Amino acid sequence: MSSWPNNVGILALEVVFPSQYVDQTELEVFDGVSAGKYTIGLGQSRMGFCSDREDVNSLCLTVVNNLLERHNIPHSKIGYLEVGTETLVDKSKSVKSVLMQLFKPHAVTNLEGIDTTNACYGGTAALFHAWNWVESSSWDGRLALVVCADIAVYAQGSARPTGGAGAIAMLVGPNAPLVLDRGLRSTFMDHAYDFYKPDLSSEYPVVDGKLSIQCYLGALDNCYQLYRKKYTQQNPRASVNLDVFDAVIFHSPYCKLVQKSLARLGLNDFVLTPENERASAYPGFEQFQNVKLEETYFDRDVEKAFMTHYAPVFNAKTKKSLHLANQVGNMYTPSVYSGLVSLLINSELSELAGKRIGVFSYGSGLASSMYSISITKDSHALAEFKTHLNYVHPLLDSRQKVAPEEFTKLMEIREKNNHAAPYEPSGSVEVLFPGTFYLQSVDKMHRRVYEKAPPKPAQTTNCTS
């Protein structure tokens, strides 16, 4: 291609999540913890979960198939496909290769891209790779497809209510309604054992909870400050603070951490404000004049003061993005993009058109980035984009609630049969959403076979004469 494509970004979004959930209030009672520990302390209401009928491959098959069908996109229009996930079912064979089952029947095999893995960051890495491919000399005019999918499960105990599951697919190409801002991308990488999965026979991670929060907030500090510098380079006369974003979305391990993170950006703004200007910009904050960011990760006084001060900003710029996180839980790699979906479906066109969204993505171990998305001013194009997400609220409402006792039994089945072969799953197919791909069987050579639940029957109208 001789010209640089314009306005490269997200052309379409698709989300899938489990058809079953457990209520966090009921889980508090079942686990014998204090009322509000999960619902108020973590900010979670419901947690979606998968039985042994679904795995990362089936989630990806479903979300890709749904996106292509909903938007009537021929398979031949896709030239790049990359999957971001940390839910590995094989140490060698990629999820991307499993997705080729959808493309080969259409004679599409010239399809670049593969899997990328680093905890919850893999989906963002895949998005950057797809974006780079479209903006490179490798681009052949076709579109890119990014898939983020994970099943977040924990051993029974205090971490279990921070689980969840889901998948997001993003169609990437030029002239997009959601444009990734060129040159405004910051990254922070480091080595840490805050959350990792060294036991390849288990789905459960090893977690250092306190270190994980410190790593997350430290990465946020670094990414935000570098983003500010890059923004200043592009806009030398502009003042840079939270006001440059009309909305801010975050990777969401649990909703309460996101509220703290928005306030953390405000704390960064405070620290970076010249001392002679702080008194007028932050009246009543004199006691924090000498605060150092690296000493505040667990400072309750600083946290409370800035969360209170920035509560209106959180309500205006971030709260709407937490709907799926609150209702489904932590999706891992799709988490921050479920925030994007939530923001879009819970905002009016007038609240979105021409706006800039700040995005913070984090994956333990650790990898993190902050970038921004500019939404088109074309109300017609934006309305069409949003219309394709009208299924999300009804789908959430159609889920089935499962009692904590049954949920625990289903988790025990997953734990007991993880990587079992041969294996016949026992989970119900009838409870799955119509059109969902599911695991039919695993043979003695660990080869997995998938089937597709019947589609929703077409509605008919009875006529009387």
Residue type for position 300: R
For residue 412, count other CB atoms closer than 10 A to its CB: 11
Q: For residue 443, what are its two tokens?
A: 């043979």
Catalytic residue among 14, 86, 255, 323: 86
Query: 433: helix, coil or strand?
Result: coil
From CA 330, how far away is CA 166, in angstroms rounded? Answer: 8
Residue 75 is among the residues annotated as catalytic for this protein: no
Q: Looking only at Cα atoms, what is the longest distance across the chain?
A: 82
Catalytic residue among 50, 54, 82, 120: 120
Region at 344 (left for phi over 0; alpha for psi -120 to 50; beta for the rest) = alpha
Residue 323 CA, distance from chain mean position: 12
From CA 24, how far away is CA 2, in angstroms rounded? Answer: 54
| Placement of tokens 């001060």 in the chain | 309
Catalytic residue among 60, 215, 223, 251: 251
The shares of helix, strand and coil residues in the chain, as percent rounded to the nearest 5, are 40, 20, 40
The length of the chain is: 465
**CA-to-CA separations, 254 to 179, 273, 440, in angstroms, rounded:** 27, 30, 32
Residue 86 is among the residues annotated as catalytic for this protein: yes
Q: For residue 366, what are its two tokens?
A: 């650790």
Phi, psi of 67 (to 5 degrees): -65, -45
Residue 120 is among the residues annotated as catalytic for this protein: yes
61, 64, 66, 69: CA torsion to nearest 10? -120
Q: For residue 52, what are its two tokens?
A: 């042994």
Residue type for position 117: T
Which amino acids are annotated catalytic? Answer: 86, 120, 251
